[in-house]
Amino acid sequence: MRLLFATLVVALAVQASGGILGFDAAGTERQLALEAELDASVDAADLAFWMRGLAARPHHTGSEHGEMNVESLANWFTSWGYDTEITSYEILIPRPTERRLVLESPTRFVASLTERPMMSDPSSRFAGDMLPPYNSFSPDGDVRGNVVYVNYGRIEDYETLERHGVDVSGKIVIARYGATFRGMKPKIAALHGAIGCIIYSDPVDDGYYQGPVYPDGPHKNATGVQRGSIMDLPLHAGDVLTPGRPAIAGEPRLAREDAAAIAPIPTLPISYGDAEPILAAMKGPVAPREWRGALPVTYRLGGGEATVHLKVTFDWQMLTAKNVIARRTGSQFPDQWVIRGNHHDAWNHGARDPISGLIALLAEAKAIAAMPEPKRTIVYAAWDAEEHGLMGSTEWVEEHIETLRTNAVAYLNTDGNGRGFLGMGGSHALDKAFVQAADAVVDPQTGVSVLRRRQANICVNQGGEACGRAKSGLQFRALGSGSDYSPFFQHVGIPSINSSFRGEGHSGAYHTMHDTVMHFERDIDPGHDYGVALAQLNGRITLRLANATVLPFDLGAITTIVKKYLAEVKKLADDQRETTKRQNEHLAAGDFALVLDPSGSLMPPERRPAVPHFNFAPLDNAVMRLEQATDALELEANRDYAAIERINQLLYTAEAELMNPKGLPDRPWYRHQLYAPGTFEGYGAKTLPAIRESIEYRNYAQVPGAIEDLAAALDRLTMRVEEIRVLADD
Ligand SMILES: [Zn+2]
């Protein structure tokens, strides 16, 4: 039944568009036959078998089960016919030696810092090698201080605290998980003078407020703790001692004190069970309504009264991270590589994160191994130490950067999988090709394509403009960071895509000891139906990129997306100018004094310097030139281009023209001028990051340089497009 649906949808999709992008009629037919074979050979029973083995025990980097998984993965790839190697890197990975959190006054409470094993979950019996809850790359520390509640610990949360007259300097903040990458919470707290950071999961976000808790239901119980790295990921990814260089023998290492990506203040994650007595003991102003969670306490901002003692120490050892790299050499273009990756390390059992994505990758690799040789080389990668900061992928990219610059056609990432609606992000030049592939994969619950189901979700829940865009516009969200695409995409400029299913099967198990096989197969993706769909989707796009005659890069999409982002940053500057002007006028008139909280607990905002008018003309002109060039470029898969190999190489390396060789302001490792993780967000993307953040954080002097750099990059891209056109016309 599933096969019938798939064939039908493919036929409809390609009929409408006149064939698969990048293939002529005969090529489309051959490709459709391969894809039908892919769909038929991806087997949910394989997925379940691999998950039960890989996620049987905790398998963090350096663990016994982690080592076993590396061997199993290498053996599977080899048995299917891939040239397989294990690449190793020596990286700094701290594990805790002491963790202590005590509420010392007004009452005394010693936090348990321990998750409760569930005897009804068989994985609990195999938890011997488990890491306790901690945040890796917290520094050692022994601090004592008053506690302040800072909500999600975002920049704007500290502005709210300031208006309530609450100062965090010399204090310990307690932040709740969510809204930003966890590493941003100690980073922003330290910028405001805090000396320690506690992060807890509020039940309003993923605990009993959302539904029954584990093991009765999927949500977080009172002992569940989210582990996770707090390295400064928006600064750089990978080993903190070798930024920008591979962590191999002979490379110089930074001293630990000089590693800028290590978090600035001691930090510890806790459960809501441990957080409740601390929050209950706090005094001070009642927290704003949106800050309150679902614990039975009055949420207060704190400051004074409640005092805690926080102590954490770590072993700071060097561990070996091992990637498994499997290669099938292309028959026609062996030096053009389509790379597909997912990490293999986990915080604990990691059934969902990362194994649910890795088993889809395995299914693709097994299916494609049985097919005729692809035209281009396909590389499968299972990365290690992703959880500590994208270490395995980043070190591999840094080691092979020169080869990747010439050979890497694209990088296709997944990092676990869920159930529901297709989520996807990445290089907009690949948007159309990926969307076309998504329209050929059948959603297991509804029988329509996963693309159609995604559109319906956006149209029903967002409507209006978003619905229109979902039907005819570019679909990719901009990528920030938080998974292994970052080194490929934002450090080197290799076109990248990240995808998964999500939106149903909500859970509180992320990075806790409850991310187990039982939980995944009961609460997330029963029957592994969405694992099958993920394999059919990523297997399709891998095959299409590996076999296309003309690689399906749509450089016109770059023009479209830059125009959109440029309009946004112009509006940002205009809005900021207006708001600043208005606020300063009201401040001068003394109006704030009349509207503030009569108790006097709210402070007026500060006077800000006026926002200048920026000269966007160099960028407007560069966009216009790029648009003329991309409009004039027409590549047809059914034409016989003499220089096809060169044309394709110019197409897939075009994205690299958008890199700034100097990097972004204050973070040279990130070079992509269209997409970066926000300096204070981490997961969330900032588009046109150098310009946008310079305006947002009021570093106005940086704006003209950022405009010039991007205009120069767009001009390089324009020249590239013209070079392709000349070759195509010959
Ligand atoms: Zn992951």
Q: Do residue 529 and residue 437 come from a single domain?
A: yes
CATH number at residue 462: 3.40.630.10
Instruction: Determine the distance separating the centroid of ligand 1 and the alpha carbon of 480, expressed in angstroms.
Output: 15
CATH number at residue 564: 1.20.930.40
Instruction: Determine the distance separating the centroid of ligand 1 and the alpha carbon of 512, expressed in angstroms.
Output: 12
CATH number at residue 207: 3.50.30.30
pLDDT tens digits for 294-342? 999 999 999 777 999 999 999 999 999 999 999 999 999 999 999 999 9
Q: Do residue 278 and residue 383 come from a single domain?
A: no
5 has a pLDDT exceeding 70: no
Instruction: Determine the distance separating the centroid of ligand 1 and the alpha carbon of 345, expressed in angstroms.
Output: 8
pLDDT band at 596 (very low <50, low <70, confident <90, very high): confident
Last residue of a domain, one of 314, 347, 363: 314
pLDDT tens digits for 398-414? 999 999 999 999 999 99
Instruction: Determine the distance separating the centroid of ligand 1 and the alpha carbon of 220, expressed in angstroms.
Output: 18
Residue 402 has a CB neighbour count (10 Å cut-off) of: 9
Instruction: Determine the distance separating the centroid of ligand 1 and the alpha carbon of 358, expressed in angstroms.
Output: 10
Instruction: Determine the distance separating the centroid of ligand 1 and the alpha carbon of 636, expressed in angstroms.
Output: 39
Last residue of a domain, one of 314, 338, 356: 314
Instruction: Determine the distance separating the centroid of ligand 1 and the alpha carbon of 353, expressed in angstroms.
Output: 5
Tell me the mean pLDDT in the region 376-401. Answer: 98
Instruction: Determine the distance separating the centroid of ligand 1 and the alpha carbon of 569, expressed in angstroms.
Output: 32
d(CA 334, CA 345): 30
Dump the DSSP string for 376-407. EEEEEEEESSHHHHSHHHHHHHHHTHHHHHHH
Q: Do residue 114 and residue 77 come from a single domain?
A: no
Tell me the mean pLDDT in the region 121-148. Answer: 92
Last residue of a domain, one of 547, 569, 597: 547
Q: Do residue 15 and residue 72 come from a single domain?
A: yes
Q: Do residue 360 and residue 309 come from a single domain?
A: no
Instruction: Determine the distance separating the centroid of ligand 1 and the alpha carbon of 718, expressed in angstroms.
Output: 37
Instruction: Determine the distance separating the centroid of ligand 1 and the alpha carbon of 532, expressed in angstroms.
Output: 19
Q: Do residue 10 and residue 46 come from a single domain?
A: yes
- All residues with CB under 5 Å from ion ligand 1: 353-354, 415
Would the pTM of this model clear 0.85, i.e. be above it?
yes
pLDDT at residue 11, as a whole number: 47
Q: Do residue 303 and residue 452 come from a single domain?
A: no
Residue 682 near residue 237, CB atoms below 8 Å: no
Q: Please tell me the total count of domains within the chain.
A: 3
pLDDT at residue 1, as a whole number: 42
pLDDT at residue 600, as a whole number: 60
Q: 420 Cβ partners below 8 Å, 6+ apart?
A: 457, 501, 502, 503, 504, 505, 530
Instruction: Determine the distance separating the centroid of ligand 1 and the alpha carbon of 534, expressed in angstroms.
Output: 15
**Mean pLDDT for the chain overall:** 95
pLDDT at residue 216, as a whole number: 95
Q: 694 Cβ partners below 8 Å, 6+ apart?
A: 665, 700, 702, 703, 706
d(CA 495, CA 485): 9
Q: Do residue 367 and residue 277 come from a single domain?
A: no
Q: Do residue 297 and residue 332 come from a single domain?
A: no
Q: Give the range of the structural domain holding residue 228, as residue numbers without chain letter.
A: 96-314
Q: Do residue 237 and residue 146 come from a single domain?
A: yes
d(CA 76, CA 68): 12
pLDDT at residue 340, as a whole number: 98
d(CA 397, CA 705): 29
Q: Do residue 439 and residue 575 come from a single domain?
A: no
Instruction: Work out the percent of the chain whose per-residue pLDDT is above 90.
Output: 92
Tell me the mean pLDDT in the region 697-713. Answer: 98
Q: Do residue 603 and residue 497 come from a single domain?
A: no
pLDDT tens digits for 201-249? 999 999 999 999 999 999 999 999 999 999 999 999 999 999 999 999 9
